[in-house]
Each structure stands twice: as C-alpha cells, then as structure tokens.
C-alpha cells in the first residue's frame, strides 16, 4: 500500500504518519478484540465444563448409593435435580439404550443420537455441542458402572444466556473499537503535526535563504533530537555553500583583475603604435613587448583553467610509478640557468639514490619548478638555494630551502591562497599572479601528500613536500663518498 500519493498528489508526512498509525491501530485493536472475545468464550466454556463434570460426579454418586430398583433411582435423581427445567438436561440410558432417567423437557426429544454418542465417547474429552429446537446446548457424556450394569450418562447445559452475553460483548466491541480508532487517529494526527512543526519552521526558514543572504542560518531547536541535528547539518551545508560562493566570487574578481591588466597594456601599446608611423626597429620592439604579454597572459589563463578543472573535480592526473630522484635531478638541471642569472648557488642534497612514488610526473615537475622559481625570485644575490631529498615513515620528503627575504608571520598563513601576494609592491614582471603556491598545494594534495612552509623574515624560507612512497619499489640510500 503506497501512502505517499493520493491519486497524483503527494501526501504530507503528517497525514502519512496518521494513516500508518491508523492502520497499526486497526491491526492492534482487531487482534485485541479477537483475543478478548476468544478469551471470554474460553472462560465460559471452561466454567460450563467444570459444572458438567461436577454434575456427572454427583449423578455417579447417587447411582452408586441408590437402591437397585429403577423407580427408587429415579426418585433419588428427581430429588437431587430439577427435571422440569430445560436449563440443565440429564439423560441416562442402560446398556440396551433404554432410557432409565431423563429431564421432563426431553420427552419426545433426543439429547444426542447413539451414533453421535459413540463418536463423542471415542474422543479424548467427551464434550459435545448440539441444538434442540434451535436452542444451543453444551454437554458431556460419561459411563457409570453400577454393579454388573453399565449406564451412559448425558448431561447438558443451556447456552442461550451465554451466547447472548457473547453477542452483547461482540456488539460492544463493534461499537467501541471504531470510536477508539477514530479518536486515536485524530490524536495521532495531532501528535505528528506537533512533532513535525519544527520541520515546517525549518522549511520556511530555508525558503527565505537565497543567493543574496547565504549568511543567514536556521534556528536550531533546543531539543538535542533528530530535528536539531537536521538544522545543524543544514547550517553546516549553508556554511560550505556560502564559503564556496564567496571563493567563486573572489576568484572571478581576482581573475578579472589579473586578466584586465595585461589586456590593457597590450591595447595601449597597439594604440600607441597606430597613432603615427613608426620605424621598423620601433615596431619590432612593440611586437616583442606584445609577445611577452601574450606569453604571460597565456600562462595565467592556463593556470586559471587548471584551478577551475581542479575545483570541478575533474580528474587531471595520470598516475604511474615515478622515480622521484631522477625527476628532482631533471628539474635542478632545468632551473640551474635561473639561479645563474641571479648569481645564486643551487645546491642538491639527495640522500637517496632510488625512490619511487605514485603520481603524475608532469604535475610533480611543475610543483618542484614552482618552488624553485619562488626561491630564485625572493633570494637576493649572493644567496643559496638548497634542494634536499630523503625518506621518512613511508613518505618521500623533498625540501626547498633558501636564504631569501623570508615571509612575515601574517603572510605565512595566506601564501597558499589564490592571488595572494606577500609583497604587495612587487611588479608583474617579477611577482606573477599569486597562483603558483595555490597550484603547488593542490598538486601535492592530489597526490595524497602535503606542502607546508616555514619562514623567518630576513632569514629565509623552507618549503617541504611530502609524498607517499610506492610500496612496490624499494628505495636505496645514496653511497657515502
């Protein structure tokens, strides 16, 4: 039975709860009524059975104590019972089936036929039910031996009054149970409505929250129950959505600002070039400047696209086994030119000769180059940049240390945020867009690793990359020379 819809319209939860409550109450009340009725019938039948057994015992006692003549026996039985009543019936037969004694009402009537008597006597419990002239009787059959004679004793109790009592009780149940069901259903609906009232309040509060007021929160009931946990969960979800929307807005604003500057520069240089005829040397210089801006802008757009794909959850990595020592050596060879141009010393301390990690070599190379490029930018000449590699507790550790200008404590906690520049006064030519460290941390975390920074202003900085080692390979320490 589907109670979620009434026709094509969905049914409210409080109505469905009341409906299920009504169904359960119907089942419970029906079962209770059936048990009560069956219990009443069983109690009446047990009482009547006990009365019949006592009556048979009394008859047996009289027959055993009475004189042998039939007339005297009949006199004794009539003095002990009321033979004219049809409430208690007695019929005694001898071995030939002749009636020795019977109640007056049984004249021309048979309490139980010989065939039925034989069937009852074969039963474990010799009780029977019969109707005489439409009147229901419940009876018992017993055999009484007196001397050498055997008698069949049949006793029966009129069940008319008992049947009427059961009927009255049944009608009472039919009248009371539906009324109780209606009252219980209304009470269940009222209870469910009160119980779900906080849900309606949460729903109305949630409907009032839109993109313009994501900072609003739902009221949490002071109940500590499921509804309170629901409100807290929704508030936590709203907090994440609010943070995500703010990050998107900030990202869009920062990206627009970073893109607007090179586009404005390129437009200005083109407009200046078109104002008057220029020499070939001047045109060549303008083209070189435009090319430089185009390259820088292309790199910025590529980084923005990388972060956008990362935010969308798109899989960018092609994971494979990477020999990290060889990769670090290649990066050092490529970036040594940058260090030479600024008269910096680029040192390597590779304490391991072979070390494997699971990752994407392209992105790991980009991560290492970002860190070395940052160290070169912020280390004045003469200075030292040291790249070291070791293994600890199942992780490869690549450290990038410099003797540069360092980072202030206030800036250190924000340097991995997108578009954040610790040095607000640096130029675009030397500073970049503030995306490198954000991309670097994303690459490290995408490899199930970390990127952390330690720095002291005026002393230098240390960036540490940890990557889980590949279990299918072993690492070898470098030979000591």
Does the structure show a pLDDT above 60 at 2? no
339 and 300 share one domain:
no
Confidence label for 477 from pLDDT (cuts 50, 70 and 90):
low
Q: Please report whether residue 139 resides in a domain.
A: yes
Mean pLDDT of the chain: 80
Does the structure show a pLDDT above 80 at 473? no
Over the Cα atoms of the chain, what is R_g?
51
Decide: pTM greater than 0.75. no
In the listed set 280, 311, 342, which residue is the last one of a domain according to the structure? 311
Q: Please report whether residue 217 resides in a domain.
A: no
pLDDT of residue 449: 93
Q: Please report whether residue 435 resides in a domain.
A: yes
Q: How far apart are CA 344 and CA 237, in angstroms?
A: 49
Confidence label for 325 from pLDDT (cuts 50, 70 and 90):
very high
Confidence label for 293 from pLDDT (cuts 50, 70 and 90):
confident
Average pLDDT of span 416-425: 65
Q: How far apart are CA 351 and CA 27, in angstroms?
A: 78
Q: Please report whether residue 199 resides in a domain.
A: no
282 and 361 share one domain:
no
In degrees and rounded to multiples of 5, residue 403 shows phi and psi of -110, 40
Which string of DSSP letters, residue by residue, matches 230-282? Answer: HHHHHHHHHHHHHHHHHHHHHHHHHHHHHHHHHHHHHHHHHHHHHHS---HHH
pLDDT of residue 67: 59
Q: Please report whether residue 352 resides in a domain.
A: yes
pLDDT of residue 338: 86
Average pLDDT of span 326-334: 91
pLDDT of residue 401: 94
Does the structure show a pLDDT above 90 at 103? no
pLDDT of residue 422: 62
CA geometry: angle at 101 spanning 96 and 104, to 5°?
130
Confidence label for 399 from pLDDT (cuts 50, 70 and 90):
very high
Q: Is 372 helix (H, G, I), strand (E, B) or coil?
A: helix
Number of domains in the chain: 3
Q: Please report whether residue 215 resides in a domain.
A: no
276 and 147 share one domain:
no
More confident residue, 192 or 430: 192
463 and 357 share one domain:
yes
* Lowest mean pLDDT across 66-80, 129-143, 281-295, 440-454: 66-80
pLDDT of residue 425: 41
pLDDT of residue 1: 44
pLDDT in tens, 6-57: 445 565 676 777 778 788 888 888 898 899 989 988 898 899 989 989 988 8
CATH number at residue 374: 3.30.565.10
Q: How far apart are CA 132 and CA 342, in angstroms?
A: 126
- Residue 160 near residue 135 (C-beta atoms within 8 A): yes
Domain that holds residue 299: 226-311
């Amino acid at each position: 039975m589907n109670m979620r819809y009434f026709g094509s319209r969905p049914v409210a939860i409080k109505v469905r709860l009341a409906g299920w409550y009504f169904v359960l109450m119907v089942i419970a009340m029906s079962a209770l009524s059936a048990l009560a009725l069956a219990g009443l019938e069983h109690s009446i039948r047990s009482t009547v059975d006990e009365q019949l057994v006592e009556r048979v015992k009394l008859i047996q006692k009289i027959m055993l104590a009475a004189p042998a003549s039939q007339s005297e026996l009949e006199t004794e039985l009539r003095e002990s019972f009321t033979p004219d009543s049809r409430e208690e019936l007695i019929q005694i037969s001898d071995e030939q089936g002749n009636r020795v004694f019977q109640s007056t009402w049984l004249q021309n009537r048979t309490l139980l036929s010989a065939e039925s008597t034989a069937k009852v006597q074969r039963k474990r419990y010799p009780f029977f039910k019969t109707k005489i002239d439409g009147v229901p009787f419940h009876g018992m059959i017993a055999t009484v031996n007196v001397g050498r004679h055997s008698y069949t004793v049949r006793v029966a109790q009129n069940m008319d009054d008992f049947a009427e009592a059961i009927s009255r009780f049944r009608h009472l149940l039919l009248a009371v149970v539906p009324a109780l069901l209606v009252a219980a259903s209304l009470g269940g609906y009222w209870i469910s409505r009160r119980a779900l009232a906080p849900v309606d309040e949460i729903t109305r509060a949630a409907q009032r929250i839109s993109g313009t007021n994501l900072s609003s929160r739902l009221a949490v009931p002071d109940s500590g129950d499921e509804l309170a946990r629901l409100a807290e969960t929704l508030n936590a979800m709203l907090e994440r959505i609010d943070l995500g929307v703010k990050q998107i807005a900030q990202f869009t604003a920062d990206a627009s600002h970073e893109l607007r500057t090179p586009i404005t520069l390129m437009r200005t240089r083109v407009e200046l070039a078109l104002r008057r005829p220029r020499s070939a040397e001047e045109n060549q210089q303008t083209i070189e400047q435009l090319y430089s801006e185009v390259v820088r802008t292309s790199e910025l757009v590529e980084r923005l696209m990388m972060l956008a794909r990362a935010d969308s959850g798109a899989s960018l990595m092609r994971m494979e086994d990477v020999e990290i020592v060889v990769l670090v050596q290649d990066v050092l060879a490529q970036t040594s030119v940058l260090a030479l141009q600024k008269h910096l010393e680029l040192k390597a301390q590779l304490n391991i000769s072979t070390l494997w990690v699971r990752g994407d070599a392209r992105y790991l190379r980009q991560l290492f180059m970002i860190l070395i490029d940052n160290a070169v930018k912020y280390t004045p000449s003469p200075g030292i940049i040291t790249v070291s590699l070791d293994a600890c507790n199942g992780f490869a550790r690549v450290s990038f240390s410099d003797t540069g200008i360092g980072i202030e404590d206030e800036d250190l906690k924000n340097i991995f945020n997108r578009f954040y520049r610790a040095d607000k006064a640096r130029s675009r030519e030397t500073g970049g867009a503030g995306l490198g460290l954000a991309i670097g941390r994303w690459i490290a975390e995408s490899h199930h690793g970390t990127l952390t920074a330690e720095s002291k202003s005026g002393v230098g900085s240390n960036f540490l990359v940890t990557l889980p080692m590949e279990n299918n390979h072993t690492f070898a320490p470098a030979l000591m020379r």
